[in-house]
């Protein structure tokens, strides 16, 4: 690819373009991704460059999209399926959880398919277009789950997901689509399962991912507190998580997903089990309220874990 300068959603589009240029097996399918260019314009221009055989508009059916992608992957293609909102990935969960995730275990078949789309709140989308449903899939062995929180990771992790032999769910936070910008002369690379230290510190650490890392970075800007971006929720970078927990002795887990039974609960449990002897305080969690997501902007802001909630939890943690 040539030099890049653009937003998070531009990086998604560039990753798709470069992957399709590099490998004729890569194709895209989903609702309105062709002529319309996608609901958020993530596939704009791909139809004109690669044609209708590789950029396929589908009916409004997540089951059909997932089924076609899985079938194409089993036949040797590398499909990238777009769900217009990841909230509706749950409609295709049977195919992804009970078929794609288990194909390797049942008969040794690989399913190199990516299921991508926008997730997350912050745009007033309400309870049906703002969820973080990644936790629904994290308990399904055989699926990989990725949640980039930077422009570079949006590009690099999508390229890695497309190259991966296993089915990958790729959660793009829509609130970041046009709020983050970056540029590079050489395309960034990344591997699934590797976390990134966004800020170092010695007094405590915040372990997070996706858009929540930016909340964490703002909250700890003046504190000697580290921020670790998981980037990939499965597989987890257990080694880096444990090293940071052992070094800082205090851990706060921050997620935008609901607090109860969410990804943060598993993270806190794993850290508590593996790092107990090095911790000076319990692992604390901050997450979204256990309610449907309000459409009203003030109520949505109250629903989401913000910098004040993170700072309050850290004050408690540091005083332990």
Residue 274's SS3 state is helix
- What are the two backbone dihedrals, phi and then psi, of residue 4, each rounded to the nearest 5 degrees? -120, 140
How would you label 267-302 residue by residue, b for 16+ Cβ within 10 Å and e otherwise? Answer: bbebbeeebeeebeeebbbbbbeeeebbbeeeebee
User: Which of 129, 173, 175, 214 is the catalytic position?
Assistant: 129
Beta-strand pair 196-199/225-229: antiparallel
Among residues 26, 73, 76, 32, which one has the least CA distance to residue 56?
Answer: 32
H or E element that contains 284: strand 284-288
CA distance 128 to 12: 23
Confirm whether 129 is a catalytic residue. yes
HSE-up (13 A, CA, CB side) for residue 311: 11
Among residues 128, 120, 81, which one has the least CA distance to residue 100?
Answer: 81
Q: Active-site residue numbers?
A: 129
């Amino acid at each position: 690819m040539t030099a890049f300068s653009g937003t998070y959603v531009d990086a998604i589009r560039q990753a798709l373009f470069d992957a399709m240029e590099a490998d004729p097996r890569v194709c895209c399918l989903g609702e309105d991704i062709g002529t319309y260019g996608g609901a958020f314009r993530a596939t704009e221009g791909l139809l004109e460059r690669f044609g209708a055989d590789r950029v396929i508009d589908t009916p409004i059916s997540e089951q059909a999209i997932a089924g076609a992608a899985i079938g194409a992957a089993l036949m040797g293609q590398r499909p990238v399926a777009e769900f217009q909102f990841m909230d509706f990935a749950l409609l295709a969960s049977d195919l992804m959880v009970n078929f794609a995730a288990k194909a390797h275990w049942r008969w040794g078949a690989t399913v190199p398919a990516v299921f991508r789309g926008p997730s997350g709140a912050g745009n007033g989308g309400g309870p049906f277009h703002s969820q973080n449903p990644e936790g629904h899939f994290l308990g399904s062995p055989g699926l990989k789950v990725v949640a980039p929180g930077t422009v570079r990771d949006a590009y690099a992790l999508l390229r890695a997901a497309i190259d991966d032999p296993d089915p990958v769910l790729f959660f793009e936070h829509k609130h970041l689509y046009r709020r983050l910008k970056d540029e590079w002369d050489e395309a960034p690379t990344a591997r699934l399962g590797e976390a990134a230290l966004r800020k170092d510190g010695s007094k405590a650490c915040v372990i997070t991912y996706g858009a929540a890392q930016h909340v964490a970075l703002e909250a700890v800007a003046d504190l000697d507190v580290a921020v670790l971006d998981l980037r990939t929720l499965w597989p987890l970078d257990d080694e880096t998580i444990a090293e940071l927990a052992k070094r800082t002795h205090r851990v706060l887990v921050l997620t935008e997903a609901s607090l109860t039974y969410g990804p943060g609960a598993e993270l806190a449990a794993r850290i508590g089990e593996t790092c107990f002897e090095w911790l000076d305080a319990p692992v604390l969690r901050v997450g979204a309220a256990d309610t449907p997501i309000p459409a009203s902007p003030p109520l949505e802001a109250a629903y989401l874990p913000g910098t004040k909630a993170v700072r309050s939890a850290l004050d408690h943690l540091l005083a332990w």
